């Protein structure tokens, strides 16, 4: 029998910083990167050290408002960089 766990609201599961850093060398470089489910911006925070501009969108506008790394809030989106 498998154990069933309750789902986290809005399925928010933070990606560890070390995992994002491990993926960076395998990502194509462009001056802008988009995270279409950015949550609190943890991935964007790491990627902002490698890309000129990072943009994230999420269904949870409240989580975006609490994002410490965002420079600009655009409703359900945030933008960092130039």
Mean pLDDT of the chain: 78
pTM of the model: 0.69
* pLDDT of 76 higher than 60: no
Flag whether pLDDT at 19 surpasses 70. yes
Q: Among 5-14, 21-30, 64-73, name the most confident range.
A: 21-30
Say how far apart CA 68 and CA 46 lie, in whole Å: 12
Q: 44, 66 in Cβ contact below 8 A?
A: no
Higher-scoring residue by pLDDT: 2, 31: 31
DSSP one-letter code for 28: P
């Amino acid at each position: 029998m498998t154990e069933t766990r309750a789902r986290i609201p809005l399925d928010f599961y933070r990606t560890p910083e070390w995992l994002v850093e491990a993926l960076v060398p395998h990502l194509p470089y462009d001056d802008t990167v988009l995270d279409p489910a950015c949550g609190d911006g943890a991935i964007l925070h790491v990627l902002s050290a490698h890309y000129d501009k990072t943009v994230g969108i999420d269904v949870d506008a409240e989580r975006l408002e609490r994002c410490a790394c965002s420079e600009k809030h655009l409703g359900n989106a945030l933008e960092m960089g130039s």
